[in-house]
């Protein structure tokens, strides 16, 4: 169901505080000759990505497991204080999430349940990955929280890798502009892969598709329909209908 798929996406990347800096100009990436260290590659990825203080994302999603499910996913975020996400099917919303800098709220419309709790409860579940990092993954940007990890760079395979706090690899395109092509997360159950598809036409190339693959053969494909940085008309609607059962926030992510 759409709700379960949205919840799985948040489980993969985690939840905590939003982060974003002010907009800046896109800088030129370092020349390939200078990409000899992990630090240089990460700096190049950060320089190549657009910076923004707000974003609006809209995806057409396909979830493939025992059955195939199509749904729509929308994400709105602003500053370092608000994130809103909604997943729906055929015009009917299944799940909604609102995150503030101190708390979060969620609705499961299929089960008529309402979830609320402080962000500390999510930090206990996901101590090393922030919500800002999740948004970076959704926009093919370098997650700032990942810069604290100890990375190594393999120039032959164009791969950044770390084993702390968990085995993680990033595949990088060194063609101008420098950009992320894939992430590989190693888990006790197997490898989770996130792959970016880019439209080659135009300059710079445009993010077109995100694919998540789990070791149990589940797949989530997100076809990007809208990516707007610093839009002027963001909305964050959230209200709890009468008759909904209240549950702790941690139950939304189980």
State how far Cα 170 lies from the chain centre. 14
Q: What is the pLDDT of residue 219?
A: 92
pLDDT in tens, 106-159: 999 999 999 998 877 666 555 556 777 777 888 898 988 899 899 999 999 999
Give the residue, 245 or 12, on which the prediction is more confident: 245
Domain boundaries defined on the chain = 2-253
CA distances from 212 to 5, 10, 91 (A): 11, 12, 24
Q: What percent of the chain has pLDDT over 70?
A: 79
- Residues 157, 173: Cα–Cα separation, whole Å: 10
Q: What percent of the chain has pLDDT over 90?
A: 41
Domain spanning 2-253: CATH 3.40.50.2300: no
pLDDT in tens, 36-63: 899 999 999 998 887 788 889 999 999 8
- Grade residue 13 by pLDDT with cuts at 50, 70 and 90: very low
């Amino acid at each position: 169901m759409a709700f379960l798929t949205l919840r799985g996406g948040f489980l993969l990347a985690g939840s905590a505080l939003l982060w974003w800096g002010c907009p800046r100009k896109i800088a030129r990436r370092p020349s390939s000759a200078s990409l000899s260290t992990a630090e240089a590659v990460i700096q190049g990825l950060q320089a190549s990505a657009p910076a923004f203080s707000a974003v609006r994302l809209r995806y057409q999603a396909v979830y493939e497991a025992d059955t195939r499910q199509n749904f729509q996913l929308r994400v709105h975020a602003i500053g370092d204080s608000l994130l809103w996400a909604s997943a729906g099917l055929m015009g009917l919303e299944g799940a909604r999430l609102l995150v503030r800098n101190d708390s979060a709220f969620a609705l499961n419309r299929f089960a008529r349940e309402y979830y609320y709790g402080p962000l500390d409860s999510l930090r206990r579940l996901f101590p090393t990955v922030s919500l800002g990092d999740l948004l970076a993954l959704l926009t093919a940007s370098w997650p700032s929280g990942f810069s604290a990890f100890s990375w190594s760079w393999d120039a032959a395979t164009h791969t950044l890798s770390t084993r702390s706090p968990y085995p993680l690899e990033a595949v990088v395109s060194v063609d101008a502009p420098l950009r992320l092509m894939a992430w590989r997360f190693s888990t006790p159950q197997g490898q989770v892969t996130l792959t970016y598809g880019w439209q080659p036409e135009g300059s710079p190339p445009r993010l077109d598709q995100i694919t998540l693959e789990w070791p149990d053969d589940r797949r989530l494909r997100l076809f990007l329909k809208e990516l707007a940085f610093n839009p002027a008309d963001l909305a964050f609607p959230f209200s709890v209908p009468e008759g909904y059962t209240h549950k702790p926030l941690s139950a939304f992510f189980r």
